[in-house]
Structure 1
Amino acid sequence: MPNTSQQQLSGLYSDHHGWLQRWLRARLGDREQAADIAQDTFVRLLVSQRLPSVGEGRRFLLQIARHLVVDHWRRQRIEQAYLESLAQLPVPETPSPETRLLIIESLLQIDAMLDAMPERVRSAFVMSQFEGLSYAQIAARLGVSVSAVQKYMLRAIGACYQVVYGS
C-alpha cells in the first residue's frame, strides 16, 4: 500500500501534469520538449522528497519547471555557440560526435561553475583567463585592491578545482 507522500505525489501528478505540460508547451513551442521537462519536473520533485503544502502544488511545480526551462535554454545556447564554432573548422579538424558530447558537457560544467560564482569573483576570473589582464588591471577595472583580486582568483580557482576533481 502506498504511503501518504506517494499518494500526494500521485495526486499532484494526476491533477497537474496536463496543465504543466500545456504551460511548458506555450513557453517552449515544442510538444516533445514540454513533455520531457514536465516529466523532469516530477522526477525532480520525487528525488527531492519535498512536497508542497496543500493548495501550493501549481506554484511549487512552476518553480521547479522554470528552473528546468532556464537550464534547457542555457544548454541550447551553449550547444549552438559550440556548433557555430565547429562550423568554422575545416572538415579534418572536426571532432567526433563522442568528443563533441564531452566538450559540450564540459562547457555546461564551466557555465554552471561561472554562474555559481559571486559577480566580482566571476568577473575577475573572466578578465584574467579570457582577456589576459593582470591582477593590477583587473583591480583597476573592478575598483578594488590587488589583494582583493587575489582572493577572488583563489575562490575561482577553488571552484575550478571542485569541478575537475569533485571536492
Structure 2
Amino acid sequence: MTARHYLELVNFFSRSLRDRDAAADVVQESYSRVLAMRQPETVLDLRALLYRIGKNIVIDDARARQAEQRMLDTLGLISADSAPSPEREADARQQCRRLAARLAVMPRKRREAFILVRIYGFSHAESALHLATTVAAIEKHIVRAVCDLFDLATLRTA
C-alpha cells in the first residue's frame, strides 16, 4: 500500500473539517484501519475505501461529540447556549468521564436503558421496545441508574 492518495485525502477532509491537522489525523487513522485489515492487498479500490473509512471516522466523531453534549446538557453542566469558562468546561468533562466509568460497571440492561432515555432521548416505551422488555422495567432501570450515578456526595469525590 502506498501513500499516493494521502495529499488528496488530506485536502478533501481539510475542506470539510476546516482543520488541516484534524484532516491529517483522519487520513492517518484511515490508513491504519486499512493496514489492520486481514488482507488489505485484496482491496480493489484503495482510494474509495480510504474515503469511505475517513467519512465514517468523521461521522463517528460528530456523533460522539453530540452524545457528549447531550450528556452534559442532561447533567446540567454545560448548555449549548452558554459559553462556559475553560475551568467549568474542564470540570464538566471530568465529571462526564466519572459518569462514563460508573456507567461501565452498571448492569447491562440498566446502563442501556439509561443511555437510551437520558442520552439518546428515547421514550420509555421506545426503550422498552428496543430492549425487549416492559415500560415498568425501563422505569425501574432508570430510577436505579439515576441513584447509582447521581449520588452527589460520591460523584464529586470519585
User: TM-score scaled by structure 2?
Assistant: 0.50
Aligned pair 1:23/2:16, yes or no? no
Which structure: larger Rg? Answer: 1
Q: Quote the RMSD (CA, aligned, Å).
A: 4.3
Question: Distance between the aligned counterparts of 2:38 and 2:98, measured in 1?
Answer: 27
Q: Is the 8 A contact 1:28 1:34 kept in 2?
A: yes
- 1:49-101: per-residue Cα shift (whole Å, max 9, x none)? 3416465011111121111011111122233442793236xxxxx88948724
Question: How far did residue 39 of structure 1 move?
Answer: 0.8
Question: How far did residue 43 of structure 1 move?
Answer: 1.3
Question: How far did residue 106 of structure 1 move?
Answer: 5.9
Question: Distance between the aligned counterparts of 1:65 and 1:40, measured in 2?
Answer: 8
Unaligned runs of 5+ residues in structure 2 are 80-86, 104-111, 142-158
Amino acid at match of 1:68: I
Quick one: which of 38, 60, 63 aligns to 1:74?
63
Quick one: which of 39, 42, 62 aligns to 2:31?
42
Q: Is the 8 A contact 1:52 1:60 kept in 2?
A: no
Matched residue, 1:87: 78
SS of residue paired to 2:77: helix
Number of residue equivalences = 114
Matched residue, 1:100: 93
Q: Which has the higher helix share?
A: 1
Matched residue, 1:126: 117
Question: Distance between the aligned counterparts of 1:20 and 1:132, measured in 2?
Answer: 40
Q: Is the 8 A contact 2:77 2:92 kept in 1?
A: no
Q: What is the aligned-residue identity percentage?
A: 22
Question: Distance between the aligned counterparts of 1:35 and 1:77, measured in 2?
Answer: 22
Residues 83/60 of structure 1: CA separation in 2 closer, same or farther (3 Å cut):
same
Aligned pair 1:57/2:50, yes or no? no
Unaligned runs of 5+ residues in structure 1 are 1-7, 89-93, 111-120, 158-167
